[in-house]
Chain A
């Protein structure tokens, strides 16, 4: 298995632009998580899905952030409009069940200038 696949690996965008991060979870996993990692806050859970349904989005910082999971093999995290303080590494992870070991992708390094 290729593991969790995220794209792009790096994204540089201007403030105000829309950014879409993509994730393909491991086949057969039914839980998917989006995390953000910064020096200031460490690894923060933004949102997680179970069977494609958003279960807890309490970590999503603002209305500028939205996440979707249209099917079991794809999820997106969108930021619109982006701001410099959104610069971070965004990780997607998946697991067989919500309470089990999560496997992480390589992350997307987002820089908003």
Chain B
């Protein structure tokens, strides 16, 4: 039968290439954003965060960019590895609530 549900965007990248995962948010009052990674069978895991007074933040192999003008976040993963395969969620803090986006599937081809 037909499957109904969220159709998550999928990004397929070759091992060693850089990955860019995008996210749009709706609430211009949100001032704190987090990227989470969720592997199969596990809970979401924190990757990196950014506050609205910044437009860029770097971690180990990951960079988050924030464009408040167009309400857009991106997560860049350098030298993508097979272990990076997962679903990636952006989340925003609204009041004291952590609200998640739909997610993007990242598949790394060896």
> Interface residues, chain A, CB within 8 Å of chain B?
4, 31, 33, 35, 38-43, 45, 48, 50, 55-56, 91, 93, 95, 97-99, 101-107
Contacts and interface: CB of A to CB of B under 8 A. Distances in A.
A101 B5 contact: no
A48 B20 CA distance: 31
A101 B46 contact: yes
A-side interface mostly: strand
Nearest to A105: B43
B100 to A, nearest CB: 4
B97 A101 contact: no
Interface size class of B (residues with CB under 8 A): 20 to 34
B96 interface: yes
Contact of B97 (A39, A43, A48): A48
Contact of B6 (A31, A40, A104): A40
A12 B43 CA distance: 19
